[in-house]
Structure 1
Amino acid sequence: MATLIVIPARYPSQRYPGKPLVPLTGATGESRTLIERSWRAALEVGGDARVVVATDDGRIADAATGFGAEVVMTSDRCRNGTERCAEALDALGGGYDIVVNLQGDAPLTPPWFVEALVADLSAHPVAEVATPVLRCDGRALNGFLEDRRAGRVGGTTAVFGIDRNALYFSKEVIPYTSRDYGAAEPTPVFHHVGVYAYRPSALAAYPRWEPGPLERLEGLEQLRFLERGIHLTCVEVEARGRPFWELNNPEDVPRIEAMLTEAGLA
């Protein structure tokens, strides 16, 4: 299936202005910007996907073309990454069976996460959107809880039904659990990985909908699909020993750099 991978990136950010251009040092000691690391992660995805960076900012566009990325300029009216992906698809003229949103703040996204989404949508024509979820071990869950205790908004958690249909996503840690878990022990909490695979029809419809109350409260773009009754399926993926985290706050930089080194990523 013809696949387009879009990496949406914007410069302004309430929590971390200029985040896409933040330098991150990897295993070899080489410093690369967040957007370049996310682009390199996209290039690792199997298949013959086209990879583009979508932005409305000249600084990000210049940096991206500088390291060899294809750039699609979008408007400054996009309210989130999904709307930016929709604009990018329209600007490119369509022609794709699946569009992947690989958010520019997730350089640790393994290629098999994206490959699992594309395979799932290909095998289940009823699904309109797919997104990966990763079962937290005790170490990851404690990281979530530590962030919340410190008043930081960290990663997002997901709950879904037996059929894997998404029920809710939250920046709070859900579902509630009262017990302690060992560092490597599996927990009932799932970390939502900020990657999406869309049918082009669902992606094209998205910008026409106004954000609902849940999306506005949580600040989570995927809730617009749930509030509109769109079939969004959660695909459980495995880390295979690779650490995963998104860069949400300045405090995440040393955590991400340590994980890049642990994963052996240059």
Structure 2
Amino acid sequence: MSVLIVIPARYASSRYPGKPLVGLTGASGQTRSLIERSWRAAQEVSGVDRVVVATDDGRIQQAAEGFGAEVVMTSSDCVNGTERCAEAHETLGGGYDVVVNLQGDAPLTPHWFIEDLVAGLRAAPEAEIATPVLRCDGATLTGFLDDRKAGRVGGTTAVFDSTHRALYFSKEVIPFTSAYYAETEETPVFHHVGVYAYRPQALAAYPGWPIGPLEQLEGLEQLRFMENGRAVLCVEVDARERQFWELNNPQDVPKLEQMMARMGLD
């Protein structure tokens, strides 16, 4: 089964313009851009046939080609990363069995998250898209709640049924819990990891579907699949004591750098 990883990246982010080119300093003091760190994370994934950066911006193209990435130029009309992945796959001529969307703001994504994700999609023929979920510990849940209290959009949470079919994703913290948890204690809240694995037929159909009210309200691209009756598989992954966070706001930069320092990641 052939696997393509696409790293969609745009410069004109409404919340954080120029985010893919923001520098992150690792444990040894080496500073690399967010897009380079995401590309390096993709290189560690086993069983992958090709990795490309998909962008509509010449600055990102120049930076990506500068550190050795293959770049596919896509339209500025793409409204989200899934649409950009669909266009990139088509531009490359298609033919891949699984297309993985490794969003360019998640450089701490461990390789086994993606490996487990692809394996989960392979084992679930009824699913047309799969995405990882990670059970929150008390510290992560506290971070989510603090972001919301401060009016910031932090991580996304997910709820799913007994077969791991997604019921909903939200930028609010769901399900509601009034309990308080110790820093390392497991909680009933699952962090949605911003990676997707698509079957090519569903990915190709996606740009032609209308944006529904839930996708518009939440700003979450995966909801378009659900609003069109497509099964989204949530694959639970194990952090293996590794910290994970996405870069959503400028305030996340020092948080990510501190995590890399603690984990000794360069």
TM-score range, shorter chain: over 0.9
For residues 126-154 of structure 1, what are the alpha-carbon distances to aligned partners after superposition, in whole Å with 9 as ceiling and x for unaligned? 11100000000000000000000111000
Q: Distance in 2 between matches of 1:219 and 1:96?
A: 28
Matching residue's letter, 1:96: Y
Matching residue's letter, 1:59: R
Q: Distance in 1 between matches of 2:133 and 2:89?
A: 25
Q: Distance in 1 between matches of 2:165 and 2:49?
A: 26
Structure 2 match to 1:181: 181
Matching residue's letter, 1:93: G
Q: Distance in 2 between matches of 1:13 and 1:193?
A: 19
User: Deviation above 2 Å: which 4+ runs of structure 1?
Assistant: none
For residues 34-69 of structure 1, what are the alpha-carbon distances to aligned partners after superposition, in whole Å with 9 as ceiling and x for unaligned? 000000000000113310000000000000000000
Question: TM-score if structure 1 supplies the norm length?
Answer: 0.99
CA apart distance, 1:121: 1.3
Structure 1 match to 2:69: 69
Q: Distance in 1 between matches of 2:41 and 2:262?
A: 16
SS in structure 1 of the partner of residue 221 of structure 2: coil
Q: Distance in 1 between matches of 2:264 and 2:205?
A: 40
Matching residue's letter, 1:101: N
Structure 2 match to 1:138: 138
SS in structure 1 of the partner of residue 248 of structure 2: coil
In structure 1, list runs of 5 or more residues that go unmatched.
Answer: none
CA apart distance, 1:32: 0.1
Matching residue's letter, 1:77: D
In structure 2, list runs of 5 or more residues that go unmatched.
Answer: none
SS in structure 1 of the partner of residue 215 of structure 2: helix
Q: How does 1:21-40 map to 2 (within 5 A)?
A: 21-40=21-40
Structure 1 match to 2:168: 168
Q: Distance in 1 between matches of 2:111 and 2:88?
A: 22
SS in structure 2 of the partner of residue 54 of structure 1: strand
Q: Distance in 1 between matches of 2:173 and 2:186?
A: 15
For residues 89-114 of structure 1, what are the alpha-carbon distances to aligned partners after superposition, in whole Å with 9 as ceiling and x for unaligned? 00000110000000000000000000
Question: TM-score if structure 2 supplies the norm length?
Answer: 0.99
Does the 8 A contact of 2:4 with 2:48 survive in 1? no
Matching residue's letter, 1:22: V
For residues 149-180 of structure 1, what are the alpha-carbon distances to aligned partners after superposition, in whole Å with 9 as ceiling and x for unaligned? 11100000000000100000000000000010
CA apart distance, 1:263: 2.0
Structure 2 match to 1:155: 155
SS in structure 1 of the partner of residue 230 of structure 2: coil
For residues 204-260 of structure 1, what are the alpha-carbon distances to aligned partners after superposition, in whole Å with 9 as ceiling and x for unaligned? 000001110000000000000000010110000010011000000000000011111
Q: Number of residue pairs matched?
A: 266
SS in structure 2 of the partner of residue 167 of structure 1: strand
Matching residue's letter, 2:261: T
For residues 182-204 of structure 1, what are the alpha-carbon distances to aligned partners after superposition, in whole Å with 9 as ceiling and x for unaligned? 00000000000000000000000
Structure 2 match to 1:109: 109
Q: Distance in 2 between matches of 1:262 and 1:241?
A: 12
Q: Distance in 2 between matches of 1:95 and 1:260?
A: 36
